[in-house]
Homo-oligomer: A and B are copies of this chain.
Amino acid sequence: MVHLVVIGGGVIGLSVAWRAAQRGHGVSLYDPHTARGASWVAGGMLAPVTEAWHGEESLLDLGSASLERWPSFAADLGDAGLSTAGTIVAALDQADRAELDRLAAYVAERGRDVDALTGRALRQLEPALGPAVRAGLHVPGDLSVDNRQLLSALRDASAQAGVRFAATVPEADVTVIAAGAWSGSLHPLLEKLVRPVKGEILRLEARSGALPPPTRTIRGHVEGRHVYLVPRANGLVVGATQYESGFDLHPKAGGVRDLLNDAEQLLPGITEYALTEVTAGLRPGSPDNLPLVGWLEPGVIVATGHYRNGLLLAPITADTVVALLEDEPIPPEAKAADPIRFTEGSPWK
With A205-B250, A207-B250, A250-B207 known as contacts, the answer to whether A257 contacts B271 (CB < 8 A) is yes
Chain B nearest CB from A207 CB (Å) reads 7
Stretch at the interface among A25-33, A50-58, A163-171, A274-282: A274-282
**A273 to B252 CA separation, bound complex (whole angstroms):** 6
Chain B residues with CB under 8 Å of A272's CB are 252-254
**A217 to B273 CA separation, bound complex (whole angstroms):** 30
Q: Tell whether, in the assembled complex, residue B275 and residue A275 are in contact, meaning their CB atoms are under 8 Å apart.
A: no
Chain B residues with CB under 8 Å of A252's CB are 207, 271-275
A300 within 8 A of B: no
* Copies of this chain, count: 2
Interface string of A248-290 (1 = CB under 8 A from B): 1011111011001101100000111111101000000000000
Chain B nearest CB from A275 CB (Å) reads 5
**A179 to B318 CA separation, bound complex (whole angstroms):** 55
Q: Tell whether, in the assembled complex, residue A261 and residue B257 are in contact, meaning their CB atoms are under 8 Å apart.
A: yes
**A284 to B257 CA separation, bound complex (whole angstroms):** 29
User: Closest residue of chain B to A236, judged by CB?
Assistant: B253
Q: Tell whether, in the assembled complex, residue A253 and residue B278 are in contact, meaning their CB atoms are under 8 Å apart.
A: no
Chain B residues with CB under 8 Å of A254's CB are 264, 270-272
A190 within 8 A of B: no
User: Closest residue of chain B to A276, judged by CB?
Assistant: B250
**A204 to B253 CA separation, bound complex (whole angstroms):** 8
Chain B residues with CB under 8 Å of A261's CB are 257, 261
Chain B residues with CB under 8 Å of A253's CB are 202, 204, 260, 263-264, 270-275
Chain B residues with CB under 8 Å of A207's CB are 248, 250, 252
Chain B residues with CB under 8 Å of A270's CB are 253-254
**A261 to B260 CA separation, bound complex (whole angstroms):** 10
**A273 to B257 CA separation, bound complex (whole angstroms):** 12
Chain B nearest CB from A209 CB (Å) reads 9
**A160 to B309 CA separation, bound complex (whole angstroms):** 56
**30 A–B contacts from the bound complex (CB under 8 Å):** A202-B253, A204-B253, A205-B250, A207-B248, A207-B250, A207-B252, A250-B274, A250-B275, A251-B274, A251-B275, A252-B271, A252-B272, A252-B273, A252-B274, A253-B260, A253-B264, A253-B271, A253-B272, A253-B273, A254-B270, A254-B271, A254-B272, A256-B256, A256-B275, A257-B257, A257-B260, A257-B261, A257-B264, A275-B278, A278-B278
Nearest 3 pairs between A and B by C-beta? A254-B271, A250-B274, A257-B260
Given contacts A250-B274, A256-B256, A257-B264, 7 further A-B contacts (CB under 8 A): A207-B248, A207-B252, A251-B274, A253-B272, A253-B273, A256-B275, A278-B278
